Structures are given as C-alpha cells and as structure tokens.
Amino acid sequence: MNRQTVHEVLTFELDMQKICAKLVPKILTNEQKENRRTVCLNLLERIENDNFFFKHVITGDETWIFEYDPDTKRQNSEWHTSNSPRPKKAKMSKSKIKTMLICFFDSQGIVRNEYVPQGQTVNKQSYREVIERLRKWVHRVWPEIADTWMLHHDNAPCHTAISVNEFLAKKGISVVPQPPYSPDLSPCDFFLFPKLKFHLKGRHFGTVDNIQKVVTDQLRALLHEDFQHCYREWEQRLRRCVASEGNYFEWDNVDL
C-alpha cells in the first residue's frame, strides 16, 4: 500500500487528522486536577450565592516587561501571492533591559500599578509593602469597599509566605483561592498581560523610563468593557475547568 493510499484511508475512510500535542503548563496529577475542580466549584458556588461577589475581588500579579520583545509569527505574517517567495526575517531575542510591573485590577478597571525599583525583585517583605500600599489606596479611593474587598493572586512563594498571610489576616483582607499551576484561571495570565504585551512586541523603547511610560499609557487605554468581559470570561473558565474534570481546557471543545 503506497503512501497516498494510506493517507486517503486515514483521512477519508477513518476521518482522522494529524495534530500536534498541546503545550500545557504542567502534566497534572489526579490530585492536582481534583484540586482545580474543587476550587472552581467553590468559587462558582460563591458567585451563585452572591451576585456581587466578583465585584469585590481585586486580582493582581507581577510580570517582566522588556525594552524589546520580538513580535510573534502571526504579527509578522504578510499577504503574498501563491508564487511569491516566503519572506525571511532574522531571529531576534528579548533585550536585557527590562522592568517588573506589578498591577492590580477589578471588574471596573485598573486599581493600582507600580514598578519594582531596578536591581530589586519581589520577595515576601516587598510584597507585603505592595499590599499595604494597595490597601491604603483602596481605603482612600474606594471607601465603599474598603472593608469588603478581597485579594486574588497566584501561588508564587512571595504571595503565599506565612508573613504575608499573617499580614492579610491582621488587616482583614480575605484571599480568593487560586489552584496551583493554573494560569488558565488567572485573569492576569489569560487577559491583562497577554493583551498588554501584544501591543509592545516588536518595538524598541530604549530606556526603562520609556518602557514604564508606554506600559502605563497602555494600561490607561484599556476600556471599562475589557475588564467586565475579563471577569465574565473568568467565571466561564471556572465552569470549563469543572466540565473538564480539572484538566487544562484551552483549545478543547468542552460541553458546559
């Protein structure tokens, strides 16, 4: 049986197609899948019991922003005729100049953002100070939720340190759970940072000050509707995770 016949049998008679493996953050154990499912179920229950639950949740994280970040293949695509030679472009790397953004937002928009001083990183002590500045900002700008807002962040060591948890408990700030290894359930990872960085790719900014100015302008340009859509998608992702029995679900056809 020749190659063409095999291909026809596979595609037409057996209705098969050749697909690539889906890249996922981690190969989850059964315990980790069940934990993801349980966290999502608990959050969905809280949403169903309290229509205003998500309106009190402020989510945040930190990320590196580079002076130059190469654009994606999709951004490089061009229209050509079938006879045109395929365009070529030299491989580029991210620059060594970078700045770390810390950003918090809710369903209405950006709550607060700041940049980590050059030469420093985020540890449990500095993150505790970040949260204290956030708390004071909320008290000053949104006094109506000053005593009811909740914090959502991922499970980075600086976020889950004992001293940070003790500080949050002392200040009466509840923490919305986030299952480990779950960027697909973190609004910063599935919404804010990809949307922000997409518009920065392929551009040179020269200095850290220029990076921070452009990033701040991009954050201010985000619409109120963008954040509302993000929170609706967050709820939908919780449901998809439950329907997937805790598995990663992006690019999968999941019946809800």
Say yes or no to pLDDT of 83 above 70.
no
Q: Which residues are registered as beta bridge partners of 58?
A: 151
In angstroms, the CA 246 to CA 6 distance is 37
CATH superfamily of 25-70+93-243: Ribonuclease H-like superfamily/Ribonuclease H (3.30.420.10)
pTM: 0.84
- Is the sign of the CA dihedral 104, 110, 116, 117 positive or negative? negative
Domain boundaries, the chain: 25-70+93-243
Helix pair 30-49, 224-243: axis angle to 10 deg: 130
Q: List, for residues 152-198, the tens digit of each pLDDT value.
A: 999 999 999 999 999 999 999 999 999 999 999 999 999 999 999 99
Question: What's the average model confidence in pLDDT over 92-99?
Answer: 75
Out of 74-78, 107-111, 124-128, 149-153, least confident range: 74-78
Q: Which two tokens stand for residue 114?
A: 């700041």
Check residue 88 and give its pLDDT.
47
Which is higher by pLDDT, 130 or 69?
Answer: 130
Out of 34-48, 75-89, 98-112, 143-157, least confident range: 75-89
Say yes or no to pLDDT of 74 above 60.
no
Cβ neighbors of 146 (< 8 A, separation 6 or more) are: 138, 139
Q: How many CA atoms lie within 13 A of 198 on its CB side?
A: 9
In angstroms, the CA 201 to CA 94 distance is 10
Count, residues in the chain: 256
Cβ pair 8, 221 in contact under 8 A: no
Q: What percent of the chain shows pLDDT beyond 90?
A: 72
Question: What's the average model confidence in pLDDT over 133-139?
Answer: 97
Check residue 250 and give its pLDDT.
74
SS3 8: helix
Cβ pair 60, 164 in contact under 8 A: no
User: Which of 182, 129, 121, 172 minimizes the C-alpha distance to 151?
Assistant: 172
- pLDDT averaged over every residue in the chain: 87
Which amino acid makes up residue 144?
A: E
Which is higher by pLDDT, 5 or 151?
Answer: 151
Q: List, for residues 14-69, the tens digit of each pLDDT value.
A: 666 655 445 567 789 999 999 999 999 999 999 999 999 999 999 999 999 998 87
User: Which of 88, 92, 87 minimizes the C-alpha distance to 71?
Assistant: 92
Q: Which residues are registered as beta bridge partners of 100?
A: 64
Out of 45-49, 78-82, 252-256, least confident range: 78-82
Cβ pair 68, 94 in contact under 8 A: yes
Q: How far apart are the first and last CA of the chain?
A: 43
